[in-house]
Amino acid sequence: MTMTDPDNFDHIFELMNKEIDGVNSKKESAELKRHLQKHADSARYFKKLQSISKRLGRVKAVTPPSYLRTTIVNSIYAPKKFTEAQQSVWDTVISKFTQLLFTNKEASMEQTPTNLFTGKKGIFVLSGAIVAVVAIVYLAGLYPPADTEDAVGTIGGVQKAKKYRSEQIAEKDVVLKNEKNARVIQSDKFQKLNKNDRFQKIAKDASFQELLKDAAFQELLKDAAFQELLKDAAFQELLKDAAFQELMKDAAFQELAKDAAHAELMKDAAFQELMKDAAYQELMKDAAFQELMKDAAFAELLKDAAFQELLKDAAFQELLKDAAFQELLKDAAFQELLKDAAFQELLKDAAFQELMKDAAFQELMKDAAKEAY
């Protein structure tokens, strides 16, 4: 009886496979064992099959993209199509933003139904208007409105807006300065983002609206690199995250967002890559880290030019993604240490970063930091 005997091969082959799958009876296992003891070729064959099966069993599961859950859940909750009322509100929203594109913007601003996006200085210049419009609609998630009542509460009334639109807007006056950005508004990604009902709620938050009115933040919205970031699927997922939205509503975080130096940091390509990173986004969603970001001292640290340089450093960004280091970052005394210029230089060193990932060393650092400050 050998593996080369066709009649016997099928039987032994089945016993081998069933043995691997753990479904052989004791009798079958014993029969296979006897066979393998007598036939070296069969034993080698079986060993190889076993090895392959073990290798298959060791293959690691792949982590799905972070946006998958949100996309699925949003699809479940998404309305099938616009209702008439929703379309009406969307028209109003469009009209509201379209006014910003008009050459006669000074007059338009004064008669806006709400003061949501107006300011004393006439905040948007024409050349940047479409960029700001896209970004604000994008961030505020005003499209499409969840339902009429909510939307009316958000934008100050459908009827007023319609009246305003009919009196103030003439098609010939509309000048789109950036067609690329106009297309963003029609893209699938954009529409999917704005179908998120939780995301829409942020638009109703007064403090977030204040943030939108802030000149530094508006400059950030107009920045081409930041717009690219906004178009990034992973960053959009971050924007949809309830915890991150809460963070955006937070006054301390908004203060940070308004800070011109921080806005510059946000425009930095390397930092944007960091913000797109799933692990860093997880960190940003982390309640404790959010607390840290809201912390005035840490916010100051984030505004610090040297620290911002450090944040742009690729190796440091890798370090930032390390879970243990993230824990250390939340330590108040360590935050003090982080502000030190000499220490920041040290932090950029690759070997030191490896050391920083070590739990015992981190404890040591915390103690040293406490003693120093």
Q: Which residue has the tokens 């940047």?
A: 128
Among 1, 20, 234, 243, binds other proteins (CB under 8 A): 20
d(CA 60, CA 67): 20
Phi, then psi, of 92 in degrees rounded to 5: -65, -45
146: enclosing H helix or E strand:
none
* Residue 75 binding other proteins, by CB under 8 A: yes
Among 1, 8, 11, 17, binds other proteins (CB under 8 A): 17
* Residue 58 binding other proteins, by CB under 8 A: yes
Q: Which two tokens stand for residue 63?
A: 């982590």
The residue range among 28-36, 71-79, 132-140, 161-169 that interacts with other proteins, by the rule CB under 8 A, is 71-79
The residue range among 47-55, 116-124, 182-190, 258-266 that interacts with other proteins, by the rule CB under 8 A, is 47-55
d(CA 276, CA 235): 5
d(CA 92, CA 42): 77
Among 8, 11, 13, 31, binds other proteins (CB under 8 A): 13
Among 6, 25, 27, 59, binds other proteins (CB under 8 A): 59
The residue range among 18-26, 109-117, 157-165, 214-222 that interacts with other proteins, by the rule CB under 8 A, is 18-26
Among 38, 40, 41, 73, binds other proteins (CB under 8 A): 73
Which one-letter amino acid corresponds to residue 213? K
> What percent helix, strand, coil does the chain show, rounded to 5?
75, 0, 25
Phi, then psi, of 115 in degrees rounded to 5: -95, 20
The residue range among 62-70, 103-111, 248-256, 360-368 that interacts with other proteins, by the rule CB under 8 A, is 62-70
Which one-letter amino acid corresponds to residue 145? P
Min dist. Cβ of residue 48 to other proteins (A): 6
How many residues line the site for other proteins (CB under 8 A)?
31
Among 25, 27, 76, 172, binds other proteins (CB under 8 A): 76
Min dist. Cβ of residue 24 to other proteins (A): 12
Which of residues 58 and 121 has its CB atom nearest to other proteins in the complex? 58
Min dist. Cβ of residue 47 to other proteins (A): 11
Beta bridge partners of 102: 174
Among 34, 65, 126, 187, binds other proteins (CB under 8 A): 65
**Could you write out the three-class secondary structure of 307-344?**
HHHHHHCHHHHHHHCCHHHHHHHCCHHHHHHHCCHHHH
Q: In 10 A of CB 221, how many CB atoms?
A: 22
Phi, then psi, of 278 in degrees rounded to 5: -60, -40
d(CA 229, CA 225): 6
123-161 in b/e burial notation, b at 16+ Cβ within 10 A?
Answer: bbeeebbbbbbbbbbbbbbbbbbbeeebbbebbbebebb
Which of residues 96 and 192 has its CB atom nearest to other proteins in the complex? 192
Q: Is 202 helix (H, G, I), strand (E, B) or coil?
A: helix
Among 5, 14, 41, 210, binds other proteins (CB under 8 A): 14
Binding flags for other proteins, 181-220, as an x/- string (CB under 8 A): ----------------------------------------
The residue range among 59-67, 88-96, 128-136, 241-249 that interacts with other proteins, by the rule CB under 8 A, is 59-67
Among 7, 23, 27, 167, binds other proteins (CB under 8 A): 23
Min dist. Cβ of residue 194 to other proteins (A): 18
Which of residues 218 and 281 has its CB atom nearest to other proteins in the complex? 281
Residues found near other proteins in the complex (CB under 8 A): 13-14, 17, 20-21, 23, 48-49, 52-53, 55-65, 67-69, 71-73, 75-77, 278
